[in-house]
Structure 1
């Protein structure tokens, strides 16, 4: 009995000692905090068509530009965005007004807003209008803005490809920056090969990088394009504007549709040209109404395609569906000067994004567009608040990883 009693007492004392030690030693009993990790998650949709957005990276504000002047694409020749009306609306060179106001294309908060809106509309990637590598006019600015956009694509989970503007190659030669237009184009192609084509987020078709050309306009023979591509080990899947592939010859893999005069031209493309192409890309657009004459930037284009309260976009999306296109280019995200913008505006709100979302067959039917705009507005309103910006970073993480309910909840807490 005595021996048993002694052992029992010793055991109890040991337990008390161990318990006391473990309660003091927090590091041995407390699990490390769980760190949330976020990766971009693809949006779920039922339409297998690859949906791409034509994108302009050419906008400059008086705060972003080196000369503190608004860029041409907000002003054209006679508009001054420093003039603000009683409703807070700046005077810009467009019949339409961006919902977030006129902006700088290299602004990370603007890019974040644009890419999240596209993602939740079921858009797979952006086709970036690009002027090359030379430091002339605003070409360098467009390149820099483009690369700000590209730097954020992986974070959101979208792809991209370049739409090359060869029309300005003559300007490069006239400025003495290159001996010939083909040599200038070759320099641009080599830059794309070294900096864009190899990216995991760069769009590939038939295992080759996709490259669109808005033309050809300056390089108008197959030999020109052969020379331009001569530095590439793998030629791109090269698409010209509809009806222009003969100017690139065997270098062209196909064509893409655009917007012109009326929807009959698009219907004819699907009926007559599209079935013959190795690679064909359709188009859909909300309308066309240019501001060139009113903006003092030259003659008007000479034709208009009315927006018709969204009916034009409905019709062109339906045409793409009937043609069973594998690749569709939406024209455009933000060409405000020509009135083809799908980006949310004061006039149309999120109407066009909702229509594209329906076309894409996005499975999550809850609309997140206004909340994504709230994220943008808070980014601007709380710009100097480090703690709030950290919370907004997490809101972004929730959005890109397809956790919109958590994003909305956190936004409501911040507001």
Structure 2
């Protein structure tokens, strides 16, 4: 969090207690679950850059095949799946113009689904800034310009943008040898949104850079927390134990909340671009549930506000929970089960609604290929799906197929 100059120890102590009490009221209740989302894929028919990111290799294969992240069919499918699994919002990774365009389409899809559902599609949207997409040298003019444009185009007046206490929330992914430090990004956000009028959530601390004075919260990112084991057996237990302990031991505990992180595995052995021959085994779903268990048993004084699923669809690094040929709907079932567990509920493990979402995708894909279809019927099926009338949605969509 930002540095404050206070007069007197007593005043400081009173201020900390008062702020924590007030801030903790905001985070009271079940944490919100967000998905880290990649919008950088192209399909086989997209022209010169048709295999964008797919060409780097992927550990597993999407159930719907290689897709274009900018297509309405893809975005509707992802959002319907995520919402039906109990996920609260999407955090889009943005590093370049292609990603920004993808992010814009994600937001448009959210707004369209909200309109179809008569304003009842309560799904949040935020951005994770990738350092590669900002300035690479001083001054911070490109960063300021992009943040100003982002505020005007995607935050102001947008009911779907993720906010904490009415302040827009930003995630940032830390890179080695980056240009923009936590201090630099914090100062840029203050310049655009006003002093302390935004929330910056960072994924590293204690690695040689002072991040603690300039960010508002931390969240863990998928890693073993030690040596990468050839068999993938080091899934991150030592790292998560360290992380959740440490965020409650910072001096004066100045943070109003913490972020959490869960992941199903990691596998970049087929990644021909930035892959490092690294593996965290999925262990039949045990890794994913093990990372979730740290969320369930968390009892830190710093309350947990957001849980980041890492990731929805980073196929290049094998961290995806999106349905795949290899694992089917397993990770979605686990996601929903763990979300309901947070709420004190249970689920049966039925995958019917996910199968209906796949059928909706197929119809939307046919429509994009200019096959004559009744879009009113498809919209009605989507509306029924959003209202959890899955049998009725399936009946309508099967007739369309």
Q: Structure 2 length normalisation: TM-score?
A: 0.77
Measure the CA separation in 1 of the matches of 2:256 and 2:143.
25
Measure the CA separation in 2 of the matches of 1:302 and 1:408.
42
- The one-character-per-residue Cα deviations of 1:311-359 (angstroms, maximum 9, x if unpaired) are 1001111111111533100000111111000100001100000011111
State the 1:378 CA deviation.
2.6
Measure the CA separation in 2 of the matches of 1:187 and 1:274.
36
Q: Which residue of 2 aligns with 1:122?
A: 86
Find 1:159's aligned residue among 106, 121, 124: 124
1:268 aligns with 2:242: yes
Measure the CA separation in 1 of the matches of 2:107 and 2:206.
28
Q: Which residue of 2 aligns with 1:13?
A: none
Q: Say which SS state the counterpart of residue 402 (structure 1) adopts.
A: coil
Find 2:273's aligned residue among 297, 319, 326: 297
Find 2:99's aligned residue among 128, 142, 149: 142
Measure the CA separation in 2 of the matches of 1:209 and 1:125.
14
Q: Which residue of 2 aligns with 1:315?
A: 290
Measure the CA separation in 1 of the matches of 2:335 and 2:315.
19
In structure 2, do the counterparts of structure 1 residues 225 and 350 end up closer, same or farther at CA, with 3 Å as the change threshold? same
State the 1:61 CA deviation.
2.4
Measure the CA separation in 1 of the matches of 2:186 and 2:170.
12
Q: Say which SS state the counterpart of residue 316 (structure 2) adopts.
A: coil
- The one-character-per-residue Cα deviations of 1:123-169 (angstroms, maximum 9, x if unpaired) are 000011012xxxxxxx2111111101111113252111110112343
Q: Which residue of 2 aligns with 1:243?
A: 205
1:330 aligns with 2:330: no
Listed as ranges, the matches of 1:1-20 within 5 Å are none
Q: Say which SS state the counterpart of residue 209 (structure 1) adopts.
A: strand
1:255 aligns with 2:218: yes
Q: Say which SS state the counterpart of residue 69 (structure 2) adopts.
A: coil
Tell me if structure 1 keeps the 8 A contact 2:69–2:102.
yes
Which contiguous aligned blocks of 4+ residues in structure 1 show a shift greater than 4 angstroms? 362-366
Q: Which residue of 2 aligns with 1:169?
A: 134
Would you say how many aligned residue pairs link Structure 1 and Structure 2? Answer: 334
Q: Which residue of 2 aligns with 1:191?
A: 149
State the 1:70 CA deviation.
1.8
1:282 aligns with 2:247: no
1:222 aligns with 2:203: no
Bigger mean CA offset, 394-403 vs 218-227: 218-227
Measure the CA separation in 2 of the matches of 1:349 and 1:224.
39
State the 1:219 CA deviation.
1.6
Measure the CA separation in 2 of the matches of 1:414 and 1:312.
39
Q: Say which SS state the counterpart of residue 258 (structure 1) adopts.
A: coil
Q: Which residue of 1 aligns with 2:394?
A: 408
- The one-character-per-residue Cα deviations of 1:366-388 (angstroms, maximum 9, x if unpaired) are 53001110111233346434443
In terms of Rg, which structure is larger? 1
State the 1:188 CA deviation.
1.6
In structure 2, do the counterparts of structure 1 residues 248 and 192 end up closer, same or farther at CA, with 3 Å as the change threshold? farther
State the 1:268 CA deviation.
1.4
Bigger mean CA offset, 107-116 vs 355-364: 355-364
Structure 2 residue ranges without an equivalent (≥5): 1-28, 115-120, 225-235
In structure 2, do the counterparts of structure 1 residues 170 and 208 end up closer, same or farther at CA, with 3 Å as the change threshold? closer
Measure the CA separation in 1 of the matches of 2:305 and 2:198.
18
Q: Say which SS state the counterpart of residue 326 (structure 1) adopts.
A: strand
Measure the CA separation in 2 of the matches of 1:54 and 1:221.
20
Bigger mean CA offset, 402-411 vs 144-153: 402-411
Q: Root-mean-square deviation (CA), in Å?
A: 2.4
Tell me if structure 2 keeps the 8 A contact 1:185–1:228.
no
State the 1:236 CA deviation.
1.2
